[in-house]
Amino acid sequence: MAAVSALSMLQSDYELDKLTSEIFSILENKFLFGYVDSKLRVNQIDDTVLVEEMKSDKRVTGKVRILSIDGGGATDGVLAASSLAHLEACLRRKSGNPNARIADFFDVVAGSGVGGVLAALLFSRGKDGGPMFTAEEALRFMIENKRRFFRSSPTGMLRRMFRPAKRSDRVLKSVFGECTLKDTLKAVLIPCYDLKTRAPFVFSRADALEIDGYDFKVRDVCKATLADTGVVGAVDMRSVDQRTKIVAIGGGVAMNNPTAAAITHVLNNKQEFPFCNGVEDLLVVSLGNGESEFGTGDLTSSPGALVKIAGDGASDMVDQAVAMAFAQSVGTNNYVRIQANGMEGHLKKRSELNNTSEILIIAEKMLAQKNVKSVLFQGKKLLENTNAEKLEMFAGDLIKEKERRKTSILPTVILKQTSSSSPRTSSATTLSTLSSFY
């Protein structure tokens, strides 16, 4: 009776799927009553190995892997894209798989502004059923389409991003077609700010699967998270079923650094992450996009400039808060922040950063910089490792977690499934997004 009661409680609390319920039945019978049925064994795991792991308090349920990508920055996402290209190269080399992709090693991705577009490119399902873009291809996409998405005003500030809107619309449609948030590979969070409700709005895969009114076209999601804070920058958009309407401005206004939102979501989403109870159950990498256009004119002359400064400040505050939460995990690599440090002298106005080689040189300099870590009550501390070295070490942790799951009896992540695994008809396919409950 105790076993039945425990199983019932788990099903009620987490609404686990049939497979997970069977797993718990196996565990209860094996460890409470000593019952063994070889037909029910998962991955043919040696009983003694699992018992020893439980006795030694090893984490048999593993860690949820989160990727967070900032919005903003004078290089329009190129710094973050370069970090992702470097990380993917490390994953391929260390895993021995030349076709490894970023999406293979993460459970959740959160992207704001240009970070949201990168998330869409890397975690969308392509024609072959795998990720649409490699990290290197996403980097080239960001560089080649820079002018189509980011149109500078006469004062050099980021304004009227989609002017003329038709050019950017054509690019996004050619990439994502008619795909929606339901067409996903992994879990993604992409924020914007809704002027109708005067509150942040997070586009979510799980919400889209549960309620049709929260299913949006991926190309519209990208436009919303990129939308400018200028007078004509807001984007009117509706859900696929036309029931939900929002008036969106950029994700940088809502949450320029979405790391805390992603962590909060995972810790509170017991349906998809049933065994994640604290930061010790997470592996998180947060990618910055460089400083804003400091030193490029009178910052007080444009409300948009002040918003950018506020966004950068908020990103630092999120980094400090997250670093504080992980502070007890001494000697671990559970949280890594990659951010350009003191590169104002290298960063020109956005309108002047048109040379591809120049942009890539700046990105290489950022990766070669010493990594900076936020320390409680002490500001920022310069570490011995470079940003590139920190990414390489983190790649090793991601591979270890992926290998551990191959022999794990308990699922670390139970993502909601779509009714179809094939993408919608389009020139490419779609982005993925994950549920958020705030």
Find out whether 84 and 122 touch, Cβ atoms under 8 Å: yes
Whether the predicted pLDDT of 105 surpasses 50: yes
Whether the predicted pLDDT of 117 surpasses 80: yes
Please check whether residue 111 lies inside any domain of the structure.
yes
Please check whether residue 232 lies inside any domain of the structure.
no
Provide mean pLDDT across the span 99-114.
95
Whether the predicted pLDDT of 263 surpasses 80: yes
Q: Tokens 């900032």 correspond to what residue?
A: 70
Q: What is the pLDDT of residue 273?
A: 94
Q: Looking at per-residue confidence, does 48 or 328 come out higher?
A: 328
Report the DSSP pairing between strands 187-194 and 245-249.
Answer: antiparallel
Find out whether 256 and 72 touch, Cβ atoms under 8 Å: yes
Please check whether residue 33 lies inside any domain of the structure.
no
End-to-end Cα distance, the chain: 37
For the segment 268-289, what is each residue's pLDDT rounded down to a tens digit? 989 899 999 999 999 999 998 7
What CATH number does the domain containing 398 carry? 3.40.1090.10
Whether the predicted pLDDT of 428 surpasses 70: no
Please check whether residue 434 lies inside any domain of the structure.
no
- Residue 289 pairs in a beta bridge with none
For residue 7 the two structure tokens come to 């199983």
Average pLDDT of the chain to the nearest whole number: 75
Instruction: Return the axis-axis angle of helices 356-368 and 135-144, rounded to nearest 10°.
Output: 130
Alpha carbon of residue 237 to chain centroid: 23
Using CA atoms of 56, 62, 67, 68 in order, give the dihedral in degrees to the nearest 10: -70
- Residue 122 pairs in a beta bridge with none
Q: Does the bond joining 164 to the residue before it have cis omega, within 30 degrees of 0?
A: yes
Say whether 270 sits in a helix, a strand or coil. coil
Instruction: Return the axis-axis angle of helices 387-405 and 356-368, rounded to nearest 10°.
Output: 80
DSSP per-residue string spanning 332-384: --SEEEE---S-TTT---GGG---HHHHHHHHHHHHHSEEEEEETTTEEEEEE
Please check whether residue 57 lies inside any domain of the structure.
no
Provide mean pLDDT across the span 306-314.
58
Rounded to whole angstroms, how far apart are CA atoms 251 and 258?
Answer: 9
Computed on alpha carbons and rounded to an integer, the radius of gyration of the chain in Å comes to 22
Please check whether residue 336 lies inside any domain of the structure.
yes
Catalytically active residues are 112
Please check whether residue 284 lies inside any domain of the structure.
yes
Range of the domain at 283: 64-191+251-292+306-343+352-407
Q: What is the pLDDT of residue 60?
A: 64
Rounded to whole angstroms, how far apart are CA atoms 225 and 372?
Answer: 27
Say whether 226 sits in a helix, a strand or coil. helix
Number of domains in the chain: 1
Whether the predicted pLDDT of 6 surpasses 50: no
Please check whether residue 428 lies inside any domain of the structure.
no
Sign of CA dihedral 105, 109, 113, 118: positive
Segment among 74-78, 154-158, 231-235, 399-403 with least mean pLDDT: 154-158
